[in-house]
């Protein structure tokens, strides 16, 4: 157990509304990641962080922003949710050998 929690676990929202997902870790890991997973596409990296206030884009960053003001929290924001952002969102931390450990995921539905 890598001590990663995500909130909320499920959310239904309307198109055009802002949404923030939270990832919280308790083990002081430097690297944190946000992925989305969709059928046929596998895991796709949205953004990642390599320290407090240090973030970088992944392969599908359009429409998403992130913030990391504390080591333990990494927030993912959809400024104006669209139906194409309906997905399962996973947060992960990086282990000592380069492997990653995941939180339980957030199921987001944009109607």
Partner 1 sequence: RKEVEQDPGPFNVPEGATVAFNCTYSNSASQSFFWYRQDCRKEPKLLMSVYSSGNEDGRFTAQLNRASQYISLLIRDSKLSDSATYLCVVNEGNRKLIWGLGTSLAVNP
Stretch in the footprint of partner 1 (CB under 8 A) among 11-19, 63-71, 74-82, 101-109: 101-109
Interface stretch with partner 1, choices 15-23, 61-69, 74-82, 98-106 (CB under 8 A):
98-106
Cβ atoms of residues 110 and 42 within 8 Å:
no
Smallest distance from partner 1 to CB 78, Å: 20
Which residues on neighbouring strands pair with residue 49, listed in sequence order? Answer: 32, 55
Q: Is 105 in the site for partner 1 (CB under 8 A)?
A: yes
Q: Is 34 in the site for partner 1 (CB under 8 A)?
A: no
Facing residues of 22 across strands? 7, 75
Contact status: 48 vs partner 1 (CB under 8 A): yes
| 87 in contact with partner 1 (CB under 8 A) | no
Residues near partner 1 (CB under 8 A): 31, 33, 40-43, 45, 48, 50, 58, 88, 90, 94, 97-105
């Amino acid at each position: 157990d890598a001590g990663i929690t995500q909130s909320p676990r499920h959310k239904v929202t309307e198109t055009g509304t802002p949404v923030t997902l939270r990832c919280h870790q308790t083990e002081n890991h430097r690297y944190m990641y946000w992925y989305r997973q969709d059928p046929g596409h596998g895991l796709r990296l949205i953004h990642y962080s390599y320290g407090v206030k240090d973030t970088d884009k992944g392969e599908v960053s359009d429409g998403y922003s992130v913030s990391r003001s504390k080591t333990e929290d990494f927030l993912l924001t959809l400024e104006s949710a669209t139906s194409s952002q309906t997905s399962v969102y996973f947060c992960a931390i990086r282990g000592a050998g380069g492997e990653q450990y995941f939180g339980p995921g957030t199921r987001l539905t944009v109607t």
